[in-house]
């Protein structure tokens, strides 16, 4: 039957003439739509290839992100989506400067690092200070201020790859909390081991925010090999002095924005489904897996639904701006559209381009049957049904916390943190077959949910992150 | 028996008191010495860990290489080697400067690249020109000069990983010959796809030498992802303009040198065995696999022989200087010691730290029995006997071409060109178990050859590379 459905789906006449197939509902045709995506989706690749090639990096609030929004509007309009527009918002922008580090003594050598978001700056000629090392944020927190004052703090950690990415929360503490703690204790700068699972000389940047009233200090991530090198040097027991040049700067307020595109539904009273990913990227790579893939996957799936017929519920695609500096686009969307838009389901793709391995249908108990139908549609793709509460992600999480249902299609993150926030986040890290499986998973979800005959219920509001 | 021999070799008393074991010749004890190295060698790791940590990069002719020589003399002396000394020589030195590239149009974005050895410089503010692309050096050579003049040449290639590294010769042409051909045709600069098999944003440098009378032009290697990005941009069919800043410079004549250490033999008339690797590295990584591993492996094996008893033939270790800029240390050693030193066998380790997979015993027909004994000793390590002529390598190749026998212990190079000449050549790329297998292979070779009762014959001189 699988093969038969594939053969039917491959008939161009069916794709070109949705009305000819509309005797069956979209939900009935979900398996066929899913299998056609798995077999031959080309749109997701076209979108992520185009975005990463024709724009490249697109840091939030910069000209590159603005070019990406214009590119997105052109592409989404050409694809036939409705209501394509930009919803702009203002944001403060921080940009990278020069970044260099070297061990001055006892073993002179260069180290490779990159500034963390919102890092303070050294003077142009840099600073030189002794390094004091800690194996965790807890160790740093417990240290007497006198051991830290005037020094360059180094915080290590040991994050292992996990399929569900769960290590990132716990082991990301050196990046997120380390700079604030180090500054409070009088450190002149902080370097952390990259929050990454690779062994390449590519540092992992990422946002950190100094606490209220905390003086910004230079804050950077060493590559994993450089952090291990520094550990070996420290292990000799001699005082280690580092020279550090980091000259990032705040450039003031600039515009970012969310790009919106709709697949109009037939029944406005049935509520809207909002899906998407983020358009901005960090500046080091071309943002292929974070998150060119996510915007491409969700748009390609929505496009398949649109080509197949008109769904009951409107499907809204949002390509969010300014996710990386702290979910500014997600907050802007929620502030502007909640509660007046009747959003009943959200879903986000922002964890790379490897296969979806688990579905967490975070629906209300009243929608148990829909959850079962979704899980059954995903199972042939090798996707296990999970028991976690769905939480969408940084961009659509506000809706979930506000009581909107979500479905999480969780991608395999085992290798995600090899590339995340590094110069290595480039198109070659995306595998076409895995990308197609993502489009298939989203297509099945959308066919089932957008056309579900029953109402999609809300859930109790949840606490924020 | 294997286990029994391992148990015997592990007895500290035997290692500490070589005379107690000397009833058997070193050659007779070769299997036990080999297995002890495989089971528990720590010296090779100590050496490569120390060199890469306490010195780091050690570009030829720089202060870092001089520190490495001093470090080597201290370590080799402390290990008990005889005749430890430096043989200095002068060399011209080229050093890297600033390096940046960006696509100006049609899709503005940064590219990651690094200068090739002996690259010319742009003005400090850089140059901007249109890119003209070729898929091979042959295509570049065939192009009319008018298509190249005033432009930035891009030469691509497609090197696949090979176990024996044979792709490097053929596919290295864009780096070695491209700059000279491009300059002759009037190009203002050349960028090549890195001669590498990885997909990381780490460029592969390497030496190139402009032909006689050829004007040096800026010459650089793009990372593989950046070369693929440039190909995608070019595929849009629009004119591509690149801005390039490369400011390397020649710093004049400086000193390099070879570090020598001996395991004295009992029979000066039996000739000397010379083995080693190179002490210098490129400046981007810490030279762990190229060639910290090689000097560590060969020294650790020689040290095992020295600890086990006195061999018939002197084993000379040479840690060569200035291999990367073109084998200057190898040429200096040959010029100084040939033919007055009675060198009868040479061997070089300069292809990483992964397992030896093939032995090519390049001995004269008169030494067929010794070749058989060597191959039989290597086989239990999983090492196949090859049919290639042995050629040592860049450092000891001059002796082979001069008619001296060689044995090649070929390392698995499948992943070597992922890291070769990149910032990623760091200690974490070395696997301890594989490093020990190398020491075992060299220990077996030295035990068999240094103590061989028969003369080791010469071969007909061969043409140079």
Pick B225's closest partner by Cβ from A49, A112, A426: A426
Would you state the pLDDT for residue B131? 98
Model confidence over A20-45: pLDDT tens digits?
444 689 999 999 999 999 999 999 99
Domains of chain A, each with CATH number or no CATH: 2-93+253-450 (3.40.630.10), 97-247 (3.50.30.30)
pLDDT > 70: percent of chain A: 95
> What is the chain B residue with the closest CA to A226?
B426
Would you state the pLDDT for residue B2? 41
Would you state the pLDDT for residue B465? 65
Would you state the pLDDT for residue A2? 41
| pTM (2 d.p.) | 0.92
Would you state the pLDDT for residue A464? 74
Beta strands per DSSP E along A58-135: 82-95, 99-105, 109-111, 113-115, 127-134
- CB–CB of A427 and B236 under 8 A? no
Would you state the pLDDT for residue A355? 98
Model confidence over A349-366: pLDDT tens digits?
999 999 999 999 999 999
> What is the chain B residue with the closest CA to A227?
B428
Where residue A154 falls among pLDDT bands split at 50, 70, 90? very high
- CB–CB of B54 and A236 under 8 A? yes
- Angle CA B372–B377–B380, to nearest 5: 125
Pick B225's closest partner by Cβ from A112, A228, A428: A428
| Contact residues on chain B for A424, CB-CB shorter than 8 A | 200-201, 225
Kindly provide the ipTM of the predicted complex, given to two decimals: 0.91
- CB–CB of B107 and A426 under 8 A? no
Question: Among A1-5, B128-132, B415-419, where is mean pLDDT lowest?
Answer: A1-5
Pick A232's closest partner by Cβ from B53, B199, B228: B53
Q: Are A43 and A303 in contact (CB under 8 A)?
A: yes
- CB–CB of B428 and A228 under 8 A? yes
Q: Are B189 and B218 in contact (CB under 8 A)?
A: yes
- Average pLDDT of A162-185? 95
Where residue A17 falls among pLDDT bands split at 50, 70, 90? very low
> What is the chain B residue with the closest CA to A109?
B56
- CB–CB of B424 and A201 under 8 A? yes
Would you state the pLDDT for residue A152? 98
Model confidence over A244-265: pLDDT tens digits?
999 999 999 999 999 999 999 9
Query: Is pLDDT of B89 > 90?
Result: yes
Model confidence over A290-303: pLDDT tens digits?
999 999 999 999 99
- Distance from the Cα of A426 to chain B's closest Cα (Å) equals 7
Would you state the pLDDT for residue A10? 41
Model confidence over B303-355: pLDDT tens digits?
999 999 999 999 999 999 999 999 999 999 999 999 999 999 999 999 999 99
- CB–CB of B201 and A229 under 8 A? no
Task: Return d(Cα A103, Cα A241) in angstroms, integer.
Answer: 6
- CB–CB of B53 and A112 under 8 A? no
Query: Is pLDDT of B10 > 70?
Result: no
- CB–CB of B49 and A232 under 8 A? yes
> What is the chain B residue with the closest CA to A202?
B201
Q: Are B38 and B437 in contact (CB under 8 A)?
A: yes
- CB–CB of B225 and A57 under 8 A? no
Pick A202's closest partner by Cβ from B49, B56, B200: B200
Starting from the edge strand earliest in sequence, which strands make up the sheet with B109-111, in order? B109-111, B99-105, B241-246, B127-134, B152-155, B189-193, B219-222, B113-115
- CB–CB of A424 and B233 under 8 A? no
Where residue A218 falls among pLDDT bands split at 50, 70, 90? very high
- Average pLDDT of A319-337? 98
Query: Is pLDDT of A6 > 70?
Result: no
- Average pLDDT of B378-405? 96
Question: Which residues in B have their CB inside 8 Å of a CB on A?
Answer: 49, 52-57, 64, 106-110, 112, 199-202, 224-225, 228-229, 232-233, 236, 285-286, 422-424, 426-429
Q: Cβ contacts of residue A397 below 8 Å, gap of 6+?
A: A327, A330, A348, A391, A464, A465
Cβ atoms < 10 Å from Cβ of A121: 17
Cβ atoms < 10 Å from Cβ of B8: 14
DSSP classification of residue A10 = H
- Distance from the Cα of B205 to chain A's closest Cα (Å) equals 15
- Distance from the Cα of B460 to chain A's closest Cα (Å) equals 45
- Distance from the Cα of B64 to chain A's closest Cα (Å) equals 8
- CB–CB of B428 and A202 under 8 A? no
- For chain A, give the longest Cα–Cα distance: 78
Query: Is pLDDT of B421 > 50?
Result: yes
Where residue A158 falls among pLDDT bands split at 50, 70, 90? confident
Question: Which residues in A have their CB inside 8 Å of a CB on B?
Answer: 49, 52-57, 64, 106-110, 112, 199-202, 224-225, 228-229, 232-233, 236, 285-286, 422-424, 426-429
Task: Return d(Cα A340, Cα A75) in angstroms, integer.
Answer: 28
E strand or H helix that includes residue A13: helix A12-16
Choose the mutation target among A46, A53, A202 for the interface with B, i.e. most B CBs under 10 Å: A53
Cis peptide before A339 (omega within 30 of 0): yes
Query: Is pLDDT of B56 > 80?
Result: yes
- CB–CB of B225 and A424 under 8 A? yes
What is the DSSP annotation of A18-74? HHHHTTS-TTTTHHHHHHHHHHH--HHHHHHHHHHHHT----TTSHHHHHHHHHHHH
Q: Cβ contacts of residue B85 below 8 Å, gap of 6+?
A: B73, B259, B260
Closest CA to B57 of B68, B45, B47: B68
- Distance from the Cα of B28 to chain A's closest Cα (Å) equals 40
Q: Cβ contacts of residue B390 below 8 Å, gap of 6+?
A: B360, B361, B362, B400, B405, B406, B407, B408
Read off the tokens for A142. Answer: 């417990």
Query: Is pLDDT of B5 > 50?
Result: no
pLDDT > 90: percent of chain B: 93
Where residue B426 falls among pLDDT bands split at 50, 70, 90? very high
- CB–CB of A57 and B110 under 8 A? yes
| Contact residues on chain B for A199, CB-CB shorter than 8 A | 426, 428-429
Pick B202's closest partner by Cβ from A52, A54, A201: A201
Q: How many CB pairs under 8 A join A and B?
A: 94
> What is the chain B residue with the closest CA to A284?
B110
Query: Is pLDDT of B271 > 90?
Result: yes
- CB–CB of B228 and A427 under 8 A? yes
- Average pLDDT of B257-274? 98
- CB–CB of B64 and A108 under 8 A? yes
Task: Return d(Cα B69, Cα B63) in angstroms, integer.
Answer: 10
- CB–CB of A225 and B53 under 8 A? no
DSSP classification of residue A355 = P
Q: Are A282 and A268 in contact (CB under 8 A)?
A: no
Would you state the pLDDT for residue A365? 97
Pick B428's closest partner by Cβ from A199, A236, A424: A199
Model confidence over B182-223: pLDDT tens digits?
999 999 999 999 999 999 999 999 999 999 999 999 999 999
Model confidence over B106-127: pLDDT tens digits?
999 999 999 999 999 999 999 9
Average pLDDT of chain A, as a whole number: 94
A214: burial class by Cβ within 10 Å (0-12, 13-18, 19+)?
middle
Cβ atoms < 10 Å from Cβ of B212: 6
- CB–CB of B202 and A199 under 8 A? no
Query: Is pLDDT of A289 > 50?
Result: yes
- CB–CB of B107 and A201 under 8 A? no
Would you state the pLDDT for residue B464? 74
Choose the mutation target among B53, B283, B286 for the interface with A, i.e. most A CBs under 10 Å: B53
| Contact residues on chain A for B57, CB-CB shorter than 8 A | 109-110
- Distance from the Cα of A165 to chain B's closest Cα (Å) equals 22
Would you state the pLDDT for residue A465? 65
pLDDT > 70: percent of chain B: 95
Task: Return d(Cα B459, Cα B345) in angstroms, integer.
Answer: 11
B33: burial class by Cβ within 10 Å (0-12, 13-18, 19+)?
buried
- Average pLDDT of A164-173? 92
| Contact residues on chain A for B424, CB-CB shorter than 8 A | 200-201, 225
Strand-pair partners of A132 = A153
What is the DSSP annotation of A306-322? HHH---SS-EEEEEES-
Where residue A18 falls among pLDDT bands split at 50, 70, 90? very low
- Average pLDDT of A380-389? 96
Would you state the pLDDT for residue A24? 86
Read off the tokens for B183. Answer: 């300059």
Would you state the pLDDT for residue A11? 41
Closest CA to A242 of A141, A134, A132: A132
- Distance from the Cα of A377 to chain B's closest Cα (Å) equals 35
């Amino acid at each position: 039957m699988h093969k038969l459905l594939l053969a039917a789906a491959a008939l161009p006449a069916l794709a070109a003439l949705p009305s000819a197939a509309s005797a069956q509902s979209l939900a009935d045709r979900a398996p066929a739509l899913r299998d056609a995506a798995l077999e031959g989706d080309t749109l997701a690749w076209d979108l992520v290839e185009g975005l990463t090639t024709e724009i490249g990096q697109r840091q939030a609030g910069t000209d590159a992100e603005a070019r990406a929004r214009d590119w997105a509007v052109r592409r989404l309009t050409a694809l036939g989506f409705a209501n394509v527009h930009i919803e702009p918002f203002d944001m403060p922008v921080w940009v990278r400067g020069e970044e260099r580090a070297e061990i001055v003594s006892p073993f002179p050598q260069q180290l490779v690092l990159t500034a963390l978001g919102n890092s303070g700056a050294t003077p142009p000629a840099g600073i030189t200070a002794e390094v004091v090392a800690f194996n965790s944020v807890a160790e740093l927190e417990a240290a007497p201020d006198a051991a830290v004052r005037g020094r360059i703090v180094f915080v290590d950690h040991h994050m292992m790859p996990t399929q569900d990415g769960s290590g990132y929360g716990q082991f990301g503490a050196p990046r997120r909390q380390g700079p604030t703690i180090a500054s409070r204790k009088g450190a002149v700068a902080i370097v952390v081991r990259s929050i990454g699972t690779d062994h390449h000389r590519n540092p992992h940047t990422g946002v950190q925010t100094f606490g209220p009233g905390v003086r910004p200090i230079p804050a950077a991530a060493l590559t994993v090999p450089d952090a291990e090198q520094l550990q070996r040097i420290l292990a000799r027991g001699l005082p280690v002095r580092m020279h550090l040049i980091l000259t990032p700067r705040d450039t003031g307020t600039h515009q970012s924005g969310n790009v919106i595109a709709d697949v109009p539904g037939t029944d406005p009273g049935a509520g809207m489904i909002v899906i998407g990913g983020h358009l901005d990227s960090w500046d080091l790579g071309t943002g292929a897996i974070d998150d060119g893939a996510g915007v491409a996957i969700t748009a390609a799936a929505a496009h398949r639904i649109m080509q197949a017929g008109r769904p009951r519920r409107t499907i809204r695609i949002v390509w969010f701006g300014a996710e990386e500096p702290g979910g500014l686009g997600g907050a802007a969307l929620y502030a502007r559209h909640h509660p007046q838009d009747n959003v009943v389901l959200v879903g986000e793709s922002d964890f790379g381009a490897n296969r979806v391995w688990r579905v967490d249908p975070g629906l209300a108990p009243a929608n148990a049957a829909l959850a079962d139908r979704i899980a059954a549609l995903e199972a042939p793709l090798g996707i296990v049904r999970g028991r976690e509460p769905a939480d969408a992600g940084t961009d659509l999480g506000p809706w979930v916390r506000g009581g909107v249902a979500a479905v999480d299609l969780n991608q395999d993150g085992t290798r995600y943190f090899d590339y995340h926030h590094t110069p290595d986040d480039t198109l070659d890290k995306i595998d076409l077959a895995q990308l197609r499986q993502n489009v298939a998973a989203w297509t099945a979800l959308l066919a089932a949910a957008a056309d579900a005959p029953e109402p999609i219920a809300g859930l109790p509001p949840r606490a924020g992150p």
